[in-house]
Amino acid sequence: MTEHVARFAATLALLGLSLATSAKAQEIPLTRLSGPIELDGRLDEPAWQSVPVLPMTTYGPTYRAPPSERTEILVAYDDSYLYMGGRMYDSDPGGVRSTTLYRDQYSGDDLLSIVLDTYNDYESAVWFTASPSGVRSDRSVANDAEFSSGRPMNNDWNSFWDLATTRTEEGWFVEMRIPFSSLGFQDDNGHVVMGMIVYRFIARKNERLTWPDIPPNWGMGFAKPSKAQRVSMEGVYAAKPLYLTPYVLGGLNQAAELNGSGTAYQIANDRTNELGLDAKYNLTSNLTLDATVNTDFAQVEADSQQVNLTRFSLFFPEKRQFFQERASLFDFNTGGFSRLFHSRRIGLNAAGEPVRILGGLRMVGRVGATDIGLLNMQTAAQDGLASENFGVARLRRQVFNSFSTVGAMMTSKVDTDGNYGVTTGFDTSLRVFGDEYVKAKWIASFDNDDPADPAHNLLAASRFVAGWQRRTQTGFSYSVDYVRSGREYAPQLGFTLRNDFTQVQNSTQYRWFQSPSSALRTMTVRSRSSAFMRNGDKSVESVSIAPSLEFELKSGRRVTLTMHNSYESVRDRFLLSGVTPVEPGNYWFHEGELQMRLSRSSLLRGGATIRAGTFYDGWRVAVSGGPTISVSPHLEMGGSYQINVVRFSDRNESLTAHLARIRIQTAVDIHFSATALFQYSSTADRLGVNARLRYHFREGSDLWLVYNDDMNTDRDVLGGPRLPWSQARTIMVKYTYTLVQ
């Protein structure tokens, strides 16, 4: 009885302190554990009794509605670990959802999560999540969880931590243990301050409870570092373990090649035996050094195939683990998908095929108010490509307030043939007041191919970006951006869609939160517009105007109606998806779009999109969609299908592009799992298979069996020999084992 009274009093004190200090952003001290915790998911150790329960607030679907289920979440620490315990009581324990055993997979499960702004920079965070089955997922957060520069979450980031769960007739229970050695942070003689958000998600009700009390004014407010409560710990000093992860790999590569006479294909076998090593060491509590030797990414999932109906290159995200640590620090966005540095330029050729990485070093962290990122990697000469060295340096510092930064970045690419390319950039993002932010960026590129004529100058090799944004998802919000790119701007380690243009783009929206009695959660009116002008003759190259109306239900379902109005001035003939030509000319075209999305917390997830209307000098109908269903915790199946029907009747040209994808994920338990991805593209006449079997011994130690196949679905070639069924096939076995010194 005395223990319960003490806990209740501690909880009231914590609540009072939280309310009293929230406006001042003061620190709330976390509780240091008075004894050991056995990680078994039971929370029955005496040490938990003195830890106050965090007061939870309903984030959604109705803000500050009474929580439907009793929730007790506790956070504490000792010399080496941060602990989170959770008692997720449930009046219907059979309704608790735990539908997958697959690592890093969200399949409509109940969740308990903690989001930690470990560097206390109000901009980045790491995010740890547990499901009732004990399935772990972790990711990193960037850009204060704002979508203004792309997806702010990196689901490919992984760390070392431990988890245990139990289930009873009362609900489900969690104990989570995160080593301080896995968290970059700054300590002042043992005094550590971080931002912290915890939340519980009840999937069948689409209900989210958070601490601290965060209004749903932002798209991902429940994971927004700037809204995290500042918490403090005493006597915490980062350990400096050395993680050594050697790997051994063996396999067979088969490729179809024409014979000497060019009359038939023959299979070339190439057996592979590799050894390599990754190492990680915390130089200080907030500086981490990573090293890699003979880097391999055999276990990385294949890229998703895409249909390209534009005249620009497709963008593919980075999935390789070595590049995930503090990846947001190197994310220097220069408009849309364009960026100063894109790590896929390292170790992959123009066709996306691997190039051997001999090794590299990366150091990331924070010193005082300054973020530091350094990267250097060396690739081997291969298939006519010279050996190349890649360097990246990034600095970013907080100024004026916790929400404003200035920074600089430099990239270099030098090969053994004497070619080089250097790009430098400077950026600033300033919170002016409230939710109002202003940004400015200037980037310049230089290489050995730069012409010597007087017309080549700094302006021609530069890109400038400026913008003003109101970051909120309730009421009125907007963003205005200006971009000017010179004709010689070409960041060799970056990604850019076009050059020699001036762009002005605008986005405005108004969102209403509906009454608690309404089935709707929000209704949004939105308009996005963009215009590109050629710098040379000031003519308009592209215009896009897209007003939309969106309805979001409290169940999590969404319906969006959009009218796309586009103008394209085409001066050079190009091919849609490499097949159907679009001739030079000036085109206005208009398409309507209906998009329907099911709730991500449903057992059946997915959606469908229908888009139809005029398209250049013809018309297009595009239909896409597909379901994902959790059959059981041991099996999840998903598929998608996209068809684009394009007709240019006046010139008797057409394109019908099919893209199909099937993904099957199975798991015996949290250690043994397998996934298979099948992708078919009619424009490429290829069927791709990527199958991966994994046995996860513990964090950092895995056995992988990987099978890849690239198959021709149309084998008859006019004027050439019949194509083989398999164009390229790979079978690999890889074992990694992490030693902690």
Q: How would DSSP label each residue in 163-228?
A: EEEEEETTEEEEEEEEEGGGS---EETTEEEEEEEEEEEEGGGTEEEEES---S-STTGGG-GGGS
Alpha carbon distance 171, 173 (integer Å): 7
Beta bridge partners of 150: 148
Q: Mean pLDDT in the chain?
A: 89
Report the percentage of the chain scoring pLDDT > 90. 66
Check pLDDT > 50 for residue 189: yes
Round to whole Å and give the CA distance between 13 and 479: 41
Q: How far apart, in Å, do the first and last CA atoms of the chain sit?
A: 45
- Answer yes or no: are the C-beta atoms of 366 and 184 closer than 8 Å: yes
Higher confidence at residue 25 or residue 539? 539
Q: Which of 13-22, 376-385, 712-721 has the lowest mean pLDDT?
A: 13-22
Alpha-carbon distance of 117 to 124, in angstroms, equals 6
Tokens of 116: 């930690």
Long-range contacts of 444-451 (CB under 8 A, 24+ apart): 444/489, 445/421, 445/488, 445/489, 445/490, 445/491, 445/492, 446/421, 446/422, 447/419, 447/420, 447/421, 447/422, 447/490, 447/492, 448/418, 448/419, 448/420, 448/421, 449/419, 450/488, 451/488
- For residue 707, what pLDDT is reported? 95
The predicted-structure confidence for 139-184, as pLDDT tens digits, reads as follows 888 888 887 666 778 777 888 899 999 999 999 999 999 999 888 8
If you average pLDDT over residues 600-620, what whole number do you get? 93
Statement: residue 451 has pLDDT above 80: no
Greatest mean pLDDT among 290-299, 332-341, 450-459: 332-341
How many Å separate Cα 648 from the centre of its chain? 37
Query: What is the pLDDT at residue 624?
Result: 96
Q: Does residue 15 register a pLDDT over 50?
A: no
pLDDT at 150: 63
User: For residue 393, what pLDDT band results from cuts at 50, 70 and 90?
Assistant: very high
Q: What is the pTM of this model?
A: 0.83
Token readout for 606 is 């997915």
Is 6 or 93 the better-scoring residue by pLDDT? 93
pLDDT tens digits, one per residue of 403-414: 899 999 999 999
Residues 6+ apart with CB under 8 A from 407: 371, 394, 395, 396, 397, 426, 427, 428
Decide if pLDDT at 591 tops 80: yes
Could you give phi then psi for residue 649, rounded to 5 degrees?
-65, -40
pLDDT class of 25 with cuts at 50, 70, 90: low
* Lowest mean per-residue pLDDT among 110-119, 455-464, 591-600: 455-464
- Report helix, strand or coil for 234: coil
